[in-house]
Amino acid sequence: MTKPTLTQLEEYAAKIGFPALDAAEFIDHYDSNGWKVGKTKMVSWQATVRTWKRHHAKWKSERKPQRGARPTTMPIAMRNRIINRLNERKQRIMRTFPDGDHPAWARQELAKIQQQLDKL
């Protein structure tokens, strides 16, 4: 099998309706593993491009977040523990001033707690 050029990959991807193919990524990926698919030598790069096309949507959704990116979800148990701690802090402040006349620092603290709860 002859290795494809960037131009060949881009033209073939356009021909099969796969403009999302990053030809440079494809070449880098297979250069790094010796042009193998699994443990088998690649026989047809065109067939491999068609496979990438079929799996593109799934792979895109499964990609790991970039380094430094904020995760989109946290485990439910952790979220519930955080919510419980924030609510306990809120209740402690509320019990300290049962008449509802909170000093400025208490109002600020309650507002911070509520902001954190809203984010969760």
| Residue numbers of the domain that contains 22 | 6-62
Same domain, 52 and 83: no
Q: Would you state the pLDDT for residue 96?
A: 87
Q: Residues 70-102: pLDDT tens digits?
A: 656 778 888 888 889 989 998 898 888 878 788
What is the percentage of the chain residues whose pLDDT exceeds 90? 36
- Taking residues 17-34, what's their average pLDDT? 91
Q: What are the distances in angstroms from CA 5 to CA 31, 38, 46, 78, 112?
A: 12, 22, 12, 49, 56
| Number of compact structural domains in the chain | 2
Q: How confident is the model at residue 63 (pLDDT cuts 50, 70, 90)?
A: low
In a domain, 55, yes or no: yes
Same domain, 51 and 81: no
Q: Please, what is the Cα angle at 66 between 61 and 32, to 5 degrees? A: 85
Q: Would you state the pLDDT for residue 74?
A: 74
Q: Extract the runs of DSSP E, i.e. beta strands, from 1-120.
A: 36-37, 40-41
Same domain, 44 and 85: no
